[in-house]
Structures are given as C-alpha cells and as structure tokens.
Amino acid sequence: MVRRDTSAGELSVSLRSVNHRGLDLHFYQPPELAAYESAIRAILKQNIARGHVEVRISLNRKQAEATGYNHQLLGHYVALFRQACAEFGLESKPDLNALFALPGVLETSIERQLLDSSLEAEILKAVTACVKELNAHREREGRGLCAGIEQEIREIETHTEAIAAIRKEALTYFRQRLQERLSELLANALSEARLAEEAAVLADRSDVEEELTRLRVHTKELRNILASGGETGKRLEFLLQEMNRETNTILSKTSGVGEVGLTITRLGLALKAKIERIREQALNLE
C-alpha cells in the first residue's frame, strides 16, 4: 500500500494480485476518482502482464472548519424527531451531535470542491510507486518458485533416464508384438507396399526412444525459459503440455509389456505428477 498527501487530501493506493491466465483488472474506488481510471489502467498494463489484480484507491478529503449551523434545516430535523416520538409514544430527546452530522446542518468556511485534472499526476505517481512495490514482491516470490521448479525438473530428468535405462528390457516385448501383428498382416495377403507401410507404422509404435528424446529436449528448454526470465508463465504452460503429451504416449506404448511395462507405468505416472506440479507453480509466474 502507498499513501500520499495530495492537494485534495490523503490518497491511499493498494494492489493485490492472484493467479490468472491474463491481466484482469478490478477497480474499487469512489465515483469521484472514476475519471482517472483510464490513465491508471494504462500504467498497470505497462507494468503487469498477467494476474487478477484488485486496485483499491481512496481519498480522505480535507475537512473544512465549521463556522455555524443551518438554523432552518436543524429545526426541521428536530420537528421530525418530535413528531416521530409522539406518533410512537416514545420519550426521548434528540442528540445534537447526531443532528450536526446530518448533511447540510453545519456551515463551513469553504465549499467542497470537485476534483479536477490537476490531481491526476499525483494519483498516477502513487499508482506507479505501488506497482513497483507489487512487482518487487512478485519477483521475490518468483525466485522462490523457480527454485522449487528446478527441483521438479531434476526429478523429471531422473525418471526419464530411469525409463531409458530399462527401455532395452522392453524391446523383447516390442519385437514380439511387432512379429505377431506382421504375421496377421501376412495372413491377409497384403501387397508388399502396404505391408512395408504397416511395418513402418508398427515399428514406430513399438518403441519409446523418440518420446524420451523429446522429453530431454523439453526439459532442457524448461531450464532455458527459467534462466531467460521475462514473461515465462505462458511459455512454460505450452511446453508442459508438450511434455505431458510425450509422457502419455510412453504410457500408451508400454502398456501390456510385462513387469517392465509396470515399472515404466509407475515412472511415467510420477513424471505426469511432476509436470502437473510445475504447471501449478507456473500459474504464479508472470
């Protein structure tokens, strides 16, 4: 929160940001400050890329000194008070302090003036200072999140290499599945061209080396994105979708390949859990 003494009174500006896919601004301010909203939005858009941001602005106007009271208006309020007491059978006396607080009863040395454009520069200066405080807090939070994501990346690499290490053990099952399917195709007397095409498709579906290679590349790119800084959230989200897709393909290809397949399934599910954790943390990164 930022507080400033301005020509019109004490100005308070506070910004609160939570997760959001884009930039979603919500203003909470008195109607007399609505004229400055467009200029405030421009500053926020220049300095904040994403998040659900609550913008709270208040102005405690300077109070004028009382010089007297409106005798006619006060008498009217007192008469209404006594009339209500008589109608409801109440015995009570009016509270003069409460009556003086009613609009128009007290007369002041100066009239309440409408705000003009001269206040805009002071408001924008306070908003700019508040944005700097918000971004400094988000940067500190981001560094902590990046450290957590780095740990998840290391575990993804560990699981990926564990799958690669036992992949050769699954090749026997892959070859057996390929031979069984080729036997079925040969029994159907397919042409040589069609048989070659089917064999190529089956061979591609019978190993996970390509998916493991892509996972390694994507994991390296994760680190590059975190190291480069800037607007990382959206780039991470897209890359994590690709990593999740590769993991799903690995799980699909290794189903039904014996005990080795069960081990790969366990590692693959662990991979998906790590990817999802990074995705959740990436929502907090701009």
> What pLDDT is attached to residue 111?
44
The model carries a pTM of 0.55
What proportions of the chain, in percent to the nearest 5, are helix, strand and coil?
65, 15, 20
Q: Which domains does the chain have, with CATH numbers?
A: 2-64+122-133 (3.30.230), 66-108 (no CATH), 137-282 (1.20.140)
Phi, psi of 163 (to 5 degrees): -65, -40
Exposure string for 245-284, b = 16+ CB within 10 A, e = fewer? ebbebbbebbeebeebbebbeebbebbbebbebbbebbbb
> What pLDDT is attached to residue 135?
86
> What pLDDT is attached to residue 105?
81
> What pLDDT is attached to residue 200?
53
Instruction: Give the separation between CA 146 and CA 164, rounded to whole angstroms.
Output: 27
Running along the chain, 286 residues long, what does each successive block of 10 average in pLDDT?
83 86 87 88 89 89 68 89 90 87 70 64 92 86 82 93 82 64 64 56 64 93 83 80 93 77 89 91 69
How would you class 111 by CB atoms within 10 Å of its CB: exposed for 0-12, middle for 13-18, buried for 19 or more? exposed
Would you say 125 and 14 are in contact if contact means Cβ atoms under 8 Å apart?
no
> What pLDDT is attached to residue 69?
81
